[in-house]
Copies of this chain bind each other. A is one copy, B any other.
Amino acid sequence: MCNTLHNTPIKRTEEILMFFEEFKLGQRFQCDPILMTSEEIADFATKYDPQPIHVDKEYAENSMFNGIISSGFLTLSKMWGQWIRLNKLGEEFIVGKGLDYVKFTAPVRKNDVLYTEVEVVNSTPTSNPSRGKVTLKFTMTNQYEEVVLLTEITVLLKTKESSNTKQLVTV
C-alpha cells in the first residue's frame, strides 16, 4: 500500500460519513500511514515556518537535532489531512471549534513514516438537538513507535435528527 504513504485525493462515499450519534466514547480509528518528504518539509517551511532548523541544512546539522526537522505545523496539518481522508467527517461536520492542546513530543524528519490513531474521548449533546460535540484525541507515532505528536481536537457534528428534519444548522 505504498500509495497510502503520500497525500491521496479524498474519496467521499456517503455511507461512511458519520453523524454525531455514531461516534462512541473509546472508539478508535487508524489513519493510513503517511510519508514525510524532504520536499514537503522545505516547501511548507518556506511558506509558513522559515526558521533555520527547518530550511538551513548546515545550521540544522550543527544543531542539537543533527539535521533538518519538520515544522510542527506541517506535522499537525499532515495528521489532520490523513484523518479527513479516512472519510469519517464530511457534510456531517459543522465546524472545528479548536484544539485543546498540541504537544510536539519528538522531532519528525524526512522519510519518517507517520501513523495516526484517533480516539473518541468525549461526546456531548448540545442544547441544539441538531448538533453534538465530539472530542478526538490524536496520537501520531513514527516508524520507531515513538510518539511525535499528541493533540485533542473538538468538532461540532450534525445529528441524525438534523439530517431527518433537514433543519438548518447555525453556529
Contact = CB atoms under 8 A, between A and B. Distances in A.
Interface residues of A, number: 45
A89 B50 contact: no
Contacts of A59: 91
Contacts of A74: 77
A12 B56 CA distance: 12
Given A59-B91, A73-B80, A50 B101 contact: no
A101 B101 contact: yes
Interface string A80-92: 1100110001110
Contacts of A169: 64
B91 A98 contact: no
A38 B81 CA distance: 19
Contacts of A168: 64
Main secondary structure of the interface of A (DSSP, over half): mixed
A128 interface: no
A146 to B, nearest CB: 14
A81 B7 contact: no
A57 interface: no
A99 interface: yes
Contacts of A98: 72, 101-104
Contacts of A72: 96, 98
Interface of A: 7, 9-10, 12, 44, 46-53, 59, 64, 71-74, 76-78, 80-81, 84-85, 89-91, 93-104, 168-171
Given A71-B77, A98-B104, A99-B101, 5 more contacts: A7-B48, A64-B168, A72-B96, A73-B76, A101-B101
